[in-house]
């Protein structure tokens, strides 16, 4: 979307081939509907908190069908917006699956088109493990269109999608189990985030089980029997695998065109998103570099500038902020403590954990966690991490400081907004390590 629109505004003749809906994974079966579901799931906690502030709240009832209908209406609206944006920019739209037939040729619906440059931005697709009965389970794609909510759900995985959907199901009243093969959630993130998130999810009612994976699924009359690697068996109404995604490159004709593919079918590209064939480029999840929507759009912008703006622009993947919309939310920017120790050597760690002012009115034991990772030699803040309400909103602002190379002294010199949770990022003074 971004690469097509910006290239067109820079004077290029652009066509886009799309066999599905505009907006890709994010708009249709990713960020947008997932965040809407996350909002819905958080209301259960909000309603509980309301009573502590004097509100008399009747026993709430949740309408899954209404949420689905309103979500679908919003996704339809966004699809229309995106199509109008492309059309207004002068981009030609071809409805159908594109096949690469050569370094400058693409076939759509049996018709061949030639192009000076070809861009592959076909994203990724969720994968299921190769175990008996895997076909009985769903992935995140189907989770957005369930006919009804299950009473008991098993979510398998320990990354973004797994913890988000486990939190969503739990928040909507589903008896939820999260099973992960590893020893802590959120592999690749700061280790404390994964450990603390598991604690908070358990506190909210999710059964988080580590070192545990299904080895077989068996269909029962109205349920699914799951056998685990520890020889235990349990029954659920729904099983969802959130066990990874692979680039969407199968059957596109890339290899026959000479494009080098890597592990899992990813398109191997250089810093300018050019593949092994000079005229063929790739951006987004299909390259499996850093699979986030803002990263993909940034790569699209950089490619348009490189090809048609007269300004070769490499992609910048450093200090990218991100949020995980679990309950509670996790957000982070920069290096984890573990990665910082590898890269910087000696680091200073500042962290805090506390109950928020809002929670102090009731019986909730939920705790906010914040952490700053500082390069001991330069005193630059190289990582900031948070678990708690509005973490994504807070870290977005902190990310500007981290990207600009702010030091701990500059954080300390910044006055906090009181009373907020965010002020803790500029009031942490004592090193924990």
Q: What is the pLDDT of residues 192-207, one digit of tens each?
A: 999 999 999 999 999 9
CA angle 20, 25, 31 (to 5 degrees): 140
Domain that holds residue 215: 134-243
pLDDT confidence of residue 363? 81
119 lies in the same domain as 31: yes
| Catalytic hit among 145, 281, 317, 418 | 418
CA distance 73 to 404: 39
Mean pLDDT along residues 94-105? 97
User: In this structure, is residue 321 part of a structural domain?
Assistant: no
CA distance 200 to 197: 5
Burial 216-226 (b: 16+ CB within 10 A, else e): ebeeeeebbbb
Contacts with 211 (C-beta within 8 Å, 6 or more apart), sequence order: 180, 181, 182, 183
User: In this structure, is residue 415 part of a structural domain?
Assistant: yes
88 lies in the same domain as 39: yes
207 lies in the same domain as 234: yes
Nearest Cα to Cα of residue 16 among 126, 90, 68, 69: 90
CATH of the domain at 288: 3.50.50.60
| pLDDT above 70 (res 220) | yes
pLDDT confidence of residue 433? 67
Active site annotation includes 418: yes
287 lies in the same domain as 388: no
342 lies in the same domain as 374: yes
CATH of the domain at 349: 3.30.390.30
pTM above 0.75, yes or no: yes
Q: Report H helices in 92-180.
A: 140-143, 160-171
pLDDT confidence of residue 341? 97
Q: Which two tokens stand for residue 288?
A: 């499996």
User: In this structure, is residue 432 part of a structural domain?
Assistant: no
Question: What backbone phi and psi angles, to 5 degrees, belong to 136?
Answer: -75, -15
Mean pLDDT along residues 377-387? 98
- Which residue do the tokens 């985030």 mark? 193
Question: Which of 243, 270, 285 delimits the end of a domain?
Answer: 243
Query: Could you tell me if 371 and 420 are in contact, meaning their C-beta atoms sit under 8 angstroms apart?
Result: no
Mean pLDDT along residues 209-214? 97
**What is the 8-class DSSP label of residue 249?**
-
Question: Which of 243, 264, 283 delimits the end of a domain?
Answer: 243
Distances (CA, A) of 218 to 100, 247, 292: 40, 29, 35
Give per-residue pLDDT as tens, 168-195: 999 999 999 999 999 999 999 999 999 9
Q: Report H helices in 152-268.
A: 160-171, 191-203
Nearest Cα to Cα of residue 172 among 50, 43, 65: 43
| pLDDT above 80 (res 117) | yes
Query: Could you tell me if 209 and 180 are in contact, meaning their C-beta atoms sit under 8 angstroms apart?
Result: yes
Q: Could you give the dihedral angle defined by the CA atoms of residues 138, 155, 172 and 45, in that order, rounded to the nearest 10 degrees?
A: -150
- The mean of the pLDDT values for the chain is 97
Number of domains in the chain: 3
184 lies in the same domain as 239: yes
User: In this structure, is residue 318 part of a structural domain?
Assistant: no
Query: Could you tell me if 307 and 7 are in contact, meaning their C-beta atoms sit under 8 angstroms apart?
Result: yes
Strand ranges inside 103-151, DSSP E: 105-108, 111-114, 118-120, 124-126
93 lies in the same domain as 142: no
| pLDDT above 90 (res 57) | no
């Amino acid at each position: 979307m971004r690469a097509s629109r910006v290239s067109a505004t820079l004077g290029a003749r652009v066509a886009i081939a799309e066999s599905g809906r505009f907006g890709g994974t994010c708009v249709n079966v990713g960020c947008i509907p997932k965040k809407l579901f996350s909002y819905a799931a958080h209301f259960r906690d909000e309603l509980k908190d309301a009573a502590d502030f004097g509100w008399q709240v009747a026993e709430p009832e949740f309408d899954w069908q209404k949420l689905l209908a309103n979500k679908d209406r919003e996704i339809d609206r966004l699809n229309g917006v995106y199509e109008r944006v492309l059309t207004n920019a002068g981009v030609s739209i071809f409805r159908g699956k594109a096949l690469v037939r050569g370094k400058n040729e693409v076939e759509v619906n049996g018709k061949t088109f030639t192009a000076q440059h070809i861009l592959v931005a076909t994203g990724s697709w969720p994968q299921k493990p190769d175990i008996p009965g895997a076909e009985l389970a769903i992935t995140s794609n189907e989770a957005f269109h369930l006919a009804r909510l299950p009473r008991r759900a098993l979510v398998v995985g320990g990354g973004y999608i797994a913890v988000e959907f486990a939190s969503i199901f739990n928040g909507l009243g589903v008896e939820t189990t999260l099973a992960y093969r590893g020893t802590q959630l959120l592999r690749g993130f700061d280790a404390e985030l994964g450990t603390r998130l598991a604690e908070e999810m358990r506190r909210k009612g999710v059964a988080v089980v580590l070192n545990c994976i299904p080895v077989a699924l068996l269909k029962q009359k109205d349920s699914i029997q799951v056998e685990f690697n520890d020889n235990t068996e349990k029954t659920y109404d729904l099983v969802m695998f959130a066990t990874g995604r692979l680039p969407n490159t199968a059957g596109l004709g890339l290899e026959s065109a000479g494009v080098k593919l890597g592990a899992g079918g990813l398109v191997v590209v250089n810093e300018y998103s050019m593949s092994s064939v000079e005229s063929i480029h790739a951006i987004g999840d299909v390259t499996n570099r850093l699979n986030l929507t803002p990263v993909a759009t940034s790569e699209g912008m950089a490619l348009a500038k490189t090809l048609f703006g007269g300004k070769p622009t490499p992609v910048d993947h450093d200090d990218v902020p991100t949020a995980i919309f679990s309950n509670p939310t996790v957000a982070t920017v920069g290096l984890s403590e573990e990665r910082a120790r590898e890269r910087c050597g000696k680091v200073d760690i500042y962290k805090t954990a506390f109950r928020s002012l809002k929670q102090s009115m009731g019986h909730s034991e939920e705790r906010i966690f914040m952490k700053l990772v500082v390069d001991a030699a330069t005193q630059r803040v190289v990582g900031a991490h948070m678990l708690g309400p509005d973490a994504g909103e807070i870290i977005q602002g902190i990310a500007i400081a981290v990207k600009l190379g702010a030091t701990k002294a500059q954080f300390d010199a910044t006055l906090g907004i009181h009373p907020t949770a965010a002020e803790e990022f500029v009031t942490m003074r004592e090193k924990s390590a």
